[in-house]
Every structure is written in structure tokens, then in C-alpha cells.
């Protein structure tokens, strides 16, 4: 299918195919512009459900959609799988390894990754959750932990395999903790012979004084109660000060404790993607503490009215105060705003500044509960979970008809089964340790039952 650049058309280049970039491209579908969407990956990732891949409920493809597929009907849009290495605002060119793309308007929407607060060496021990690969690595670690516990004869080491520490009590941490609790206390209960998976310890650590700090405090409280009921140990005002040799050192006030844990998952802190720095270098725009780009009321960057930053990478002061949170609805609204902004600009019109319309905050807790702050109403428990499911299915279906996810959810809701708990990757057996008693006996040869 051949399509040639019409040199008379306004050229919009979008970097990043997340919610912001994707909705900008889709919304420009009928505008007299020529759009190029550049992404390092060939798919859009539905990040809000990444924790379900990490815990074996969904497959990567269930929460991903090929960008070309989503945009195939947007005839004015080309998708390019490539990585931007520089921007030249004078020549209005985006540079990649092998080619340059000229733009008239540039939208940067490359998001954020996780941040270890200066302890980047923790990354290998305590992986974060931003990409499909991250999620598969978490999944591998979680299920290898149970497999290793099953083989371990030393009760202390076995408990370390059955201890899961989740660092960070935001939505991702809360969702991971709830899902691991579901796994250990429900899904896997009947699957092992030597261990009791219900002996698992799941610790959720949060540095602030409550879970879900951006939410209303009564929802934070409800989330903590729900998680505790599921079997999660919630510890607030608790900081991780060291991660080494499968031991997490945590500090709560003056109390310092060492927790032996083979599985430590990172759900704290964000750091802007590298595009923030590239933009700062070439335009002098100001970055905030975590590297996000401070944007003007129309989402452009100071002094460069044709370069825009949206989504998690943007620091947009909401009502002159805190930056807007890094959630999908913000990115979607910003993408749609820019599509309209550019279209109107071409007609010689101007738009009022971007204004975020609150849609609320949602976090799910295990299989039946969630907390939701919808602005006009606050929900918790099953009703919030129902709203959460509906909201996610709605978004998923809107651009890729992910009927399959609905079936998968319906099915596992009633069966409590989790079919996607595969341990994959090249060195699958690498991380499993051998039984530690050294006498070569198997757990099956033990004379007496082992209660763990």
C-alpha cells in the first residue's frame, strides 16, 4: 500500500505510542495533516493491567495491541518502529539512527520508567514494572519462588522463598500485593505437596503515612483494611534502606529490621524517560525533580510553540498546583486536546488552555475489591471492583476489541484459575536453588510431614 507524503500537508510527528501519543494520532485522523508515530516497540501497551501479566492472570498480548493494527484505518498516519536519539528544533527534525524525520508540530509522549532513588544496583534484585519484559520477569520470579520453596528442606530458607516484599504503596504496589495474596492463599493452595502456600508472607511497604497517598484518606484506609483481610501485611512510614543478599533492610521510625525475602518487587518512584533530557538539551526547557518536562498551558514547551509534551512525561501544573498524575485519562485527554489544538491552529483559530476533567482514581485489591474515587462519589469493595473492571474493559475494547480479556476475566473469576503462570525465558532453571540439606534426599522421602 503506497502512500506518498504530500509536501503541502502540515507534518505532525508523535514520539511514543502510549495513551497520549495514540489518542493524539487517532484524533488527527480527519485533519489535513500527515502524521508519523514513532515508537521503539511495535505495540501499544495497556499499562494499567501490567500487574495482571506479572501475576499470571493475563498474557502480554491480552494487554497489548499492534500500533499498526490500531492505526491501520488512519490513512494519514505512518507508524515507524525506531528510537529517537535527538531533536533539532531549529531545522525541525527528529533524528533516529538511520534517518531523520521533519516535523511542523512535534508531540513527545514517551512516559516514565521507575526510579531507585540513587540505588540503581537494586534493579537486578528488585525489578520494577513498566514493560512487558518487566512483567514477565516478575512473573518468572514469583512462580520460581513457589517452585523453589517446594524443593527447599531448610525451613528458614523455605520461608525466605515464600516471602514477597513489595516496595511502594501506590496503585501498582497495592494491586501487586493483592494479586500475590490471591495467588498464595487461593489459586495455588491445592497445587503443592510439600509446602503450604498459605504460609507465604506478603509485605507491602509504603514510605508515607498511608497507602495510595494521592487518594482521599478514607479510601487509603479502606484499601489497607481490604489488603489486611486478604492476608497482606501493610506497613506504612516504612522505608527500604538496603537490598542485599536476598535481605531487605527496612526502617520504620527508629526500628530497623532485616527481612529475608527472595522476591522483592519495586513499585516506588518514577523517573522521566530519556526524551526529557534530550528536550532540555536542545530547547533549554526546565525539568522537574524527576526529569519531567514543565509545559505551558497549551502543553507546548516555553519558547517552542510547536513542540508539545503530554502524558506521564509532562509536568502540567493542575489548577496552578500539583502536576497532573501519571494516569491514562490525563494522557488521553491531553492527546485529544492537542489534536484539536493543531487542527484549529491550521484554521487560524486558537483554543483555550488545556483543562483536565477529573475522571477519578481507581485501584484494585485482589479479586473482588477495589477503591474508587470518582469525584462525585467514593466507592470501595465489590462495587468499586465492578467499576474498575468496566472502565478497563471499556478502554481495552475501544481500540482493539479485546473480547478475550473479558472472557479470561469472567472465566478466572468463577474458577479462580490463572492460566498464564508460566515460567519462561532462557535460563529458566538458573535461579532455582537446589535443596540445601546436601544429603540428596528428596522432600518426598521425608519421614514426617513438614508443616510450614
Burial of 420 (C-beta count, 10 Å sphere; 0-12/13-18/19+): middle
Residue among 134, 180, 137 nearest 431 (CA): 137
Instruction: Indicate the residue among 6 and 257 with the shorter CB distance to its own copies.
Output: 6
CA–CA dist 33, 381 (Å, integer)? 46
CB of 129 to its own copies, least distance (A): 15
How distant, in Å, are the alpha carbons of 15, 219, 242, 344 from that of 311?
11, 25, 32, 21
- Least distance (Å) from its own copies to the CB of residue 69? 6
Cβ contacts of residue 254 below 8 Å, gap of 6+? none
Give the CA distances from residue 342 to residues 298, 337, 347, 367, 412, in Å, rounded to whole numbers and listed in that order: 11, 9, 9, 43, 44
Cβ closer to its own copies: 246 or 417?
Answer: 417
CB of 17 to its own copies, least distance (A): 12
- For its own copies, the closer of residues 375 and 410 by Cβ is 410
Q: How far apart are the C-alpha atoms of 343 and 311, rounded to whole Å?
A: 20
Burial of 272 (0-12, 13-18, 19+ CB in 10 A): buried
- Closest distance to its own copies from the beta carbon of 409 (Å): 10
What cell was used for 239? 522505608
Q: Which residues contact 405 (CB under 8 A, 6 or more apart)?
A: 49, 58, 62, 63, 393, 396
The residue annotated as part of the active site, out of 137, 150, 152, 175, is: 175
* All cell numbers assigned to 67: 500500533
**Residue where the block lists cell 523453589:** 148
Q: Which is nearer to its own copies, 87 or 227 (CB)?
A: 87
Q: Which is nearer to its own copies, 134 or 206 (CB)?
A: 134
User: What is the smallest separation between the CB atom of 253 and its own copies, expressed in angstroms?
Assistant: 38
What is the nearest approach in angstroms of its own copies to the Cβ of residue 334?
25
> In the numeric block, which cell numbers belong to residue 238?
516504612
For its own copies, which is the closer residue by CB, 38 or 379? 38
Active-site annotation holds for 296: no
Q: E strand or H helix at 332, and its extent?
A: helix 328-346
Nearer to its own copies, 319 or 424 (CB): 424
**Least distance (Å) from its own copies to the CB of residue 314?**
25
Phi, psi of 34 (to 5 degrees): -115, 120
Known catalytic residues?
175
Amino acid at each position: 500500500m503506497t502512500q506518498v507524503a504530500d509536501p503541502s500537508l502540515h507534518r505532525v510527528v508523535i514520539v511514543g505510542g502510549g495513551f497520549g501519543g495514540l489518542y493524539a494520532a487517532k484524533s488527527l485522523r480527519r485533519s489535513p495533516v500527515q502524521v508519523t508515530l514513532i515508537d521503539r516497540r511495535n505495540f501499544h501497551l495497556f499499562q494499567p493491567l501490567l500487574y495482571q501479566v506479572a501475576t499470571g492472570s493475563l498474557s502480554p498480548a491480552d494487554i497489548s495491541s499492534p500500533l499498526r493494527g490500531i492505526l491501520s484505518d488512519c490513512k494519514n498516519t505512518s507508524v515507524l518502529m525506531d528510537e529517537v536519539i535527538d531533536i533539532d528544533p531549529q531545522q525541525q527534525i527528529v533524528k533516529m539512527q538511520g534517518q531523520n524525520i521533519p516535523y511542523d508540530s512535534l508531540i513527545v509522549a514517551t512516559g516514565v520508567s521507575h526510579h531507585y532513588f540513587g540505588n540503581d544496583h537494586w534493579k537486578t534484585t528488585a525489578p520494577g514494572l513498566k514493560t512487558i519484559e518487566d512483567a514477565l520477569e516478575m512473573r518468572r520470579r514469583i512462580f520460581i519462588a513457589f517452585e523453589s520453596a517446594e524443593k527447599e528442606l531448610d525451613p528458614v530458607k523455605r520461608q525466605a522463598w515464600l516471602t514477597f516484599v513489595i516496595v511502594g504503596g501506590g496503585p501498582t504496589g497495592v494491586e501487586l500485593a493483592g494479586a500475590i495474596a490471591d495467588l498464595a492463599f487461593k489459586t495455588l493452595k491445592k497445587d503443592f505437596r510439600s509446602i503450604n502456600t498459605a504460609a507465604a508472607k506478603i509485605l507491602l511497604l509504603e514510605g508515607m503515612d498511608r497507602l495510595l497517598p494521592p487518594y482521599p484518606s478514607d479510601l487509603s484506609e479502606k484499601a489497607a483494611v481490604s489488603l489486611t483481610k486478604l492476608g497482606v501485611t501493610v506497613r506504612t512510614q516504612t522505608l527500604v534502606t538496603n537490598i542485599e543478599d536476598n535481605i531487605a533492610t527496612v526502617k520504620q521510625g527508629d526500628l530497623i529490621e532485616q527481612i529475608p525475602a527472595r522476591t522483592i518487587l519495586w513499585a516506588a518512584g518514577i523517573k522521566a524517560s530519556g526524551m526529557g533530557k534530550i528536550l532540555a538539551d536542545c530547547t533549554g526547557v526546565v525539568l522537574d525533580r524527576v526529569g519531567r518536562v514543565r509545559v505551558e498551558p497549551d502543553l507546548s514547551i516555553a519558547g517552542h510553540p510547536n513542540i508539545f509534551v503530554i502524558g506521564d512525561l509532562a509536568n502540567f501544573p493542575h489548577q496552578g498546583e500539583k502536576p497532573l498524575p501519571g494516569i491514562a485519562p490525563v494522557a488521553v485527554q491531553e492527546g485529544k486536546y492537542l489534536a484539536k489544538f493543531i487542527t484549529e491552529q491550521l484554521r487560524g483559530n486558537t483554543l483555550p488552555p488545556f483543562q483536565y476533567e477529573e475522571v477519578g482514581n481507581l485501584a484494585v485489591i485482589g479479586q473482588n475489591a477495589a477503591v474508587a474515587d470518582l469525584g462525585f462519589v467514593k466507592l470501595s469493595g465489590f462495587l468499586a471492583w465492578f467499576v474498575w473492571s468496566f472502565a478497563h474493559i471499556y478502554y481495552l475494547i475501544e481500540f482493539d476489541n479485546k473480547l478475550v480479556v473479558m472472557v479470561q476475566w469472567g472465566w478466572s473469576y468463577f474458577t479462580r484459575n490463572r492460566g498464564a503462570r508460566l515460567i519462561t525465558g532462557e535460563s529458566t532453571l538458573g535461579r532455582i536453588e537446589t535443596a540445601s540439606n546436601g544429603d540428596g534426599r528428596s522432600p518426598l522421602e521425608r519421614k514426617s510431614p513438614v508443616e510450614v
